[in-house]
Chains A and B, each alone.
Chain A
Amino acid sequence: MPKIESVDHLTEYRRKLKASRDPKQPVVLVCGGPGCLPLGSENVAAAFKTAMAEKGLEGKVLLKTCGCQGLCANGVKVIIRPEEIAYQKVTPQDVPEIVEQTLVGGATVDRLVYHDPASGTACAHKGEVPFYKGQDPIVLRKLDLIDPESLDDYLAVGGYRTLRKVLFSMTPEQVIDQVERSGLRGRGGGGFPTGRKWRLARQAESAVRFIICNGDEGDPGAFMDRAVMEGDPHAIIEGMLVGAYAIGARQGYIYVRHEYPLAVKRLRLAIEQARDFGFLGDNILRSKFSFDLKISQGSGAFVCGEETALMASIEGFIGEPSPRPPYPAQAGLFGLPTVINNVETWANVPEIINMGPEWYAAKGTENSKGTKVFSLVGAVNNTGLVEVPMGTTLRQIIGDLGGGIKDGHPFKAVQTGGPSGGCIPEQFLDLPVDYDSLQQVGSIMGSGGMIVMDNTSCMVDVARYFIGFLYAESCGKCTPCREGLKQLKYLYEEITSGRGEMEHLKLMEDLCEAMSSASLCGLGQSAVNPVRSTLKYFRHEYEAHIKEKKCPALVCRPLLKYTIDPNTCTGCLACVRECPVGAISGIKKEAQEIDQELCIKCGLCYETCQFDAVKRE
């Protein structure tokens, strides 16, 4: 790749690039996103390479591995352009058929496309699939279009167009004004108006300012930032270039959690490409604006998603948050004005500049503009990433896009916002999702995690799980969070082990009151949400655990009993081998028996048995 020295040079390069590409040329894009990768995208891509070569299609049909195509439940996904034929559940064995029938023959392979579960209609094209039809992608738009390791691909779809506009025909003040007017709010969960944050940083008196991209996505169940970092890394760089220009920063950091090695790799490559090309460094495109990016890796601490802890981590300290004020925009990294925004926030910026703030503000609700990416997971049929305008209802997301609850089970709750969020029951399914509405029902937007639960989930167990998670991740600096989580964990263990008392609930509520108001940072403050929301909407489950010593959903181990039905058991001994404490015994080929004294209720026998002979009550 050449080094671009000026805007004219860039325009020329773009022209040549466009001329060298045929928009009608068929392209096979194999999804290499977080859902499909573990299912074997690499093998599918390799199979395509071989099969296409055999048919002499090399050069005629392009083959790329792209980012997350969204409908992760049906991976490995393949999309064939320009028709947008959407194949799903593709295995390497299916590939020769696709090559033969579709690439050569021009027909679709019916069994590999989405079929509407009710009518059975085949939805051969992406636009026909309900999961995609209901979306309005801005941040996810390019993920199934480009090869994330190709800067040319990014340029070809209009990438880095903002640079010309921003660096040469807008003042930093005008950029901030546009972002403010768009109504963009922090997508990491805080929901703070992005434009205002930039303005505060710009106003802070300092010769040096920093910008940071928070890629520490720690909420279990959330992987939208991962998909963007892996699938469209240049969008983040472009957004940060705009932000750096707006607030007057010369140095930026992208903080990526340690558990995302592929994201680190892709971002590193993208930064190198951008630098070599001339988009990062000194005097970018001869605009006199200089900016460069560094990657900082997390080391395994959920609390480092908190702004001040993140900055402490970059500085080489433990990730303990600091009281605010001062806010990062006033005194952040190394004590200097710093703007920290989430991956999704940065990825929205280029389109806001390209299309204008009014275009963005026309989407969404009164106080929550634009779109939001949600990771819709759990007990829905169509799990994966969706991007919808703010104000879309839970019912639309879970029902229309998600395809309803899996296996026909009844809906129980949807947990939003990660461990800091609350569980929302059925009566609120028509809630239009935005920052304010979620808060009103005792939850939060968070980073966009949306975990759907059916009747096989125990809400007391869910709260216990989140408290356990937060307890292990809490930094330990302040009393209410450190000691409070320890006590909540203990209380949940008592309740789920059959030693709970009704006074425990009152104690939990008292404790939550103090934790939410007196904890130093958001981790401790919002740790109360899973507790409070489940106590409010699912109190009867708590009471069953306490008064009847029973877990209605059959989840809490100490309250379960496993027995073997002598009529169904074949004596195959599979469960005997699996039992970690040797509690199952009996003669081979005859009914086995579980010694209740030894049984630790782990459920491994239940999961192992192929004959449904192990009963759980």
Chain B
Amino acid sequence: MDAERLEGILSKYEGESTDLIPVLQDIQDNYNYLPKDELKVVAQRLNVPLTQIYSVATFYTMFSLVPKGEHQLKVCLGTTCHLKGGQRLVDSIASRLGCDVGYTTKDGTFSLETVGCLGSCAQAPVMMIDDKYYARVTVDKVPKILKLYQK
């Protein structure tokens, strides 16, 4: 466990128990998941039971206990996107990547997720790769978009 790397995150906070979720968010962003050893240190430092951390880590979908892929692929399955064929888009991407929803591709490039609503309903179907939005994504546009990120 890289103590210095974790310290870099923890030192930004006062060490209160209410810092728990922001700390976990930082660790998730930095490490791409929540490593067990790091969580044990967080429990001690913030004086929070490990059980609370585990509950929080498994309750909120942002957190992952296993490493996520290099790129987060989120396909919107909000109502409008669903009505505009969002599920077909998800199936097509899953099939192409050989990876189920909620999992990461074997080569670690993509993690595939569905999300409730990205807030761009007028441009359904919508998907996000990391911080970038893709609008009106139909099945035929998928290969080109994926290529931008594949090594």
Binding site for B on A (CB under 8 A): 34-35, 37-39, 72-73, 75, 217-223, 226, 258-261, 296-302, 313-319, 375, 377-379, 383-384, 415, 419, 449, 451, 453, 457, 462, 465-466, 469, 473, 475, 578, 580, 602-604, 607-608
Contact = CB atoms under 8 A, between A and B. Distances in A.
B123 A316 contact: no
Given A378-B80, A607-B85, A218 B133 contact: no
B95 to A, nearest CB: 4
B47 to A, nearest CB: 11
Tell me which of B61, B91, B117 has the highest count of chain A C-beta atoms within 10 A of its own C-beta.
B117
Contact of A378 (B18, B83, B120): B83
Contacts of B133: 37-38
Nearest to B115: A259
Given A38-B126, A318-B56, A223 B62 contact: no
B25 A37 contact: no
A604 B88 contact: yes
Given A316-B18, A462-B79, 9 more contacts: A35-B120, A220-B77, A223-B121, A298-B60, A299-B62, A301-B61, A316-B48, A378-B83, A379-B83
A466 B77 CA distance: 11
Contacts of B136: 39
A297 B91 CA distance: 30
B92 interface: yes
Interface string B80-105: 11110100100110010000000000
A578 B59 CA distance: 35
Contacts of A451: 79-80, 83
Interface in B54-71: 55-56, 59-63
Interface residues of B, number: 49
Contact of B88 (A223, A318, A603): A603
Contacts of A603: 85, 88
16 contacts: A35-B121, A37-B133, A39-B123, A72-B121, A218-B117, A220-B78, A259-B117, A260-B119, A314-B18, A314-B21, A469-B77, A602-B88, A602-B91, A603-B85, A603-B88, A608-B140
Contacts of B135: 38-39
Contact of A221 (B20, B52, B55, B78): B78
A316 B52 contact: yes
Nearest to B61: A300
B55 A318 contact: yes
Contacts of B82: 220, 465
B112 to A, nearest CB: 14
Contact of A302 (B17, B91, B116, B126): B116
B122 to A, nearest CB: 3
Given A38-B133, A72-B123, A317-B52, A221 B117 contact: yes
Given A34-B120, A314-B18, A316-B17, A301 B79 contact: no
Contacts of A608: 139-140
Interface in B28-78: 48, 52, 55-56, 59-63, 74, 77-78
B117 A219 contact: yes
Interface string B112-146: 00011111111110100001011110111000000
A73 B122 contact: yes
Given A299-B25, A378-B80, A259 B139 contact: no
Interface of B: 17-22, 24-25, 48, 52, 55-56, 59-63, 74, 77-83, 85, 88, 91-92, 95, 115-124, 126, 131, 133-136, 138-140
B62 A607 contact: no
A300 B68 CA distance: 16
Contacts of A72: 120-123
Given A38-B126, A378-B83, A300 B20 contact: no
Contacts of A38: 120, 123, 126, 133-135
Contact of B83 (A222, A453, A607): A453
B24 to A, nearest CB: 8
B117 A318 contact: no
Tell me which of B18, B22, B116, B122 has the highest count of chain A C-beta atoms within 10 A of its own C-beta.
B122
3 closest A-B pairs by beta carbon, nearest first, are A220-B78, A72-B122, A38-B135
B131 to A, nearest CB: 6
Contacts of B95: 580, 604
Nearest to A70: B122
Contacts of B140: 608
A99 B133 CA distance: 28
A578 B143 CA distance: 11
Contacts of B120: 34-35, 37-38, 72, 223
A608 B85 CA distance: 12
A301 B116 CA distance: 10
Contacts of B74: 259
Contacts of A301: 59-61
Contact of A261 (B124, B131, B134): B131
A452 B62 CA distance: 30
A72 B120 CA distance: 9
Tell me which of B81, B83, B134 has the highest count of chain A C-beta atoms within 10 A of its own C-beta.
B83
A578 B124 CA distance: 21
Contacts of B62: 258, 298-300
A324 B5 CA distance: 42
B121 A317 contact: no
